[in-house]
Amino acid sequence: MKLLFVGDTHGTKHLEKVAGFLSQARLTPQDAVIHCGDTGVAWLGEEDEALRFWRALPQKVVFCLGNHENYRWMYSQPRVSRYSALGHDLGGRIFAPLHGQVARLGGRSLWFYPGGYSIDFYFRVPGRNVFHEEMLEPPAARRALNRVLDRTYTDFIVTHDGPRSFVTQHFNFPISQPHDHYWRHLEVPPGGRAHPAFLLDELYSQPQRFGQWFFGHHHQDVAQGKLRCLWQQAALVDTRDGATIIIS
């Protein structure tokens, strides 16, 4: 089985690159596309053009949701169990795992941690296009992280954001906790939501626990060690032998 990992597409804005990836990957219906978040659906609900694109794909499609999603619509969709994980059925062959779920595809394990901090929150309206669900409350975030830390080994880590220390080192900009204005804007007590980058540092410090880690969010193509941030590139992995091909 082949897994095609892709980064942010933001509705239809950056969706064209996926068609190029698919033409090179030559996937079969038994293979899967793994999206690392900011799918940008479904702002128009069932009439959303990007949603129709993803639903029409013959492959399995797995969304690790980001911080530019219509969470109100996403979380209204049926909750199901698929690939040994809990999540939402978004129609077609699209599945969006919940935080901390471990799915199995092609005999491999994949741990998912959706969401991220929206630095553009002040341009967005709470409950309409920015949502509390973009970041978990700290106790729920800890439970999600413990699901992978309690495991001896996980083949693939799939997140929207990356670990803070990796991003700070390789992207040349610091990551800080949400600004006070963020908490006020979303009417959340300060510290009432867990910034994923800080949480993920704990897993990043234990590289023996995972094989490869794919994430998006930062709109750059950067790879170092076991981690790869995807933007204009995609990663095609053969689950039989772990061979990875980078597609541009």
CA dihedral 48, 51, 55, 61 (to 10 degrees): -170
Strands 210-215 and 227-229: parallel
Task: Enumerate residue ranges in the chain where pLDDT < 50.
Answer: none
User: What is the per-residue pLDDT for 172?
Assistant: 84
Q: Where are the domains of the chain?
A: 2-247
Write down the pLDDT at residue 202: 98
Could you report the per-residue pLDDT of 93-116, keeping only the tens digit for each?
A: 999 999 999 999 999 999 999 999
The CATH code of domain 2-247 reads: 3.60.21.10
Q: What pLDDT is recorded for position 22?
A: 98
Identify the pLDDT of residue 232.
99
Compute φ and ψ for 228, nearest 5 degrees: -145, 125
Does this model's pTM top 0.85?
A: yes
